[in-house]
Structure 1
Amino acid sequence: MSENLKTIKELADELSVTKQNIQYHYQRLPKELQLKSSNGSNLINSKAEKIILGKVESSSKSNTKDQQISSKENFEDEKLDNPFINRLIKEVEYLKIDKDKIISTKDQQIEKLTNLLDQQQRLALQDKKLLEEYKSEINELKALKMPQEDKKEKDKKENQSQEEVQTLKKQMEALNDKIKGQEQANNQSSKKWYQFWK
């Protein structure tokens, strides 16, 4: 191994932090960066050292520009070296793109539904206006027909009243004929009695 490997204690002494702090960050490294020596002790290569250095610096809450740049570099190094992180980043980017497509599709669907609703409301308003026009036309036609119907009804009533008058006249004539017939019968009977006494 031509690479410069360090133990946890050596890195802790170099960074002036506790061995437990370095051990904590070491355990959270990707598995391919966790190296072991032949006797079983933990070893740290340069990539792992950069990552741990970034974590230690960020946990110390020193907000200098150099530390921010180094933590970004460490994250970029970690991101490029870790296939799991790379896959997660790709999935997140895909989901962002997919989310944007879904949102734009939903926006288009909402716009179409809004247009359809607007058209439906216009058609309903047109139908209402047409119905009102038809009703007014029907009322006008009824008004025109009513005098004719009234005239027909008047003619019918006049015909009926004339017929009733004629039937009443006939009945009166029949009664007059009966009365005359009875008067004649009475006159004849009175003559008979009169002749009998003579």
Structure 2
Amino acid sequence: MSEELKTIKELADELGVSKQAIQYHIKSLTKKNRQTNDKGVTVLSAIEQDFIRGRVDSQTNKKKANEPTNKRQTDKQKEPNINQYLLNEIEEVKKNRDKQLAVKDKQIENKDIQIAQMQNLLDQQQRLALQDKKLLEEYKAENDNLKALNMSSQDTKEEQANNQPQEVQNEVEKATEPLRKWWQIWK
């Protein structure tokens, strides 16, 4: 394991406190994904360790009361700088924000392209619907013209039939009348 990274138990043993005390101080750190080692045990970075050391030392004051004054001054220099820790955290948040914004910008760009494509397809669909409507109107007009022609041809047949003698009309009617089969007699 790296010299920088320590598990909660190692740090607790070093500081002479329980693991629960270390976990209590970890809660005051920013909520981010904690690093784990190859065994899946949570490990703390050097900055996090320094921060926790400072919190534990300030609460217990055991070490500071027994140490000479000059040693306390060197310890103060070694004490974790909470400002530095928070600045590091802010930098991480900024990097993550910038990455997320870049991803969102790309997604918005893709959506704009998709919207343009959808509008183009909608325009094409509307043009096709208009063409279909025009064709239907043309077919309807053509159908009406054919019906009118058909009506006029039937009128001329009736006029011809009226002009023919009655006997010829009877023969035409008999010829057009369907033949009745023997099984249709009862109908």
* Larger RCO, structures 1/2 (Cα 8 Å, 6+ apart): 2
Structure (1 or 2) with the greater helix fraction = 1
State the TM-score, normalizing by the size of structure 1.
0.43
Q: TM-score, normalised by structure 2?
A: 0.45
Q: Higher Cα Rg: structure 1 or 2? A: 1
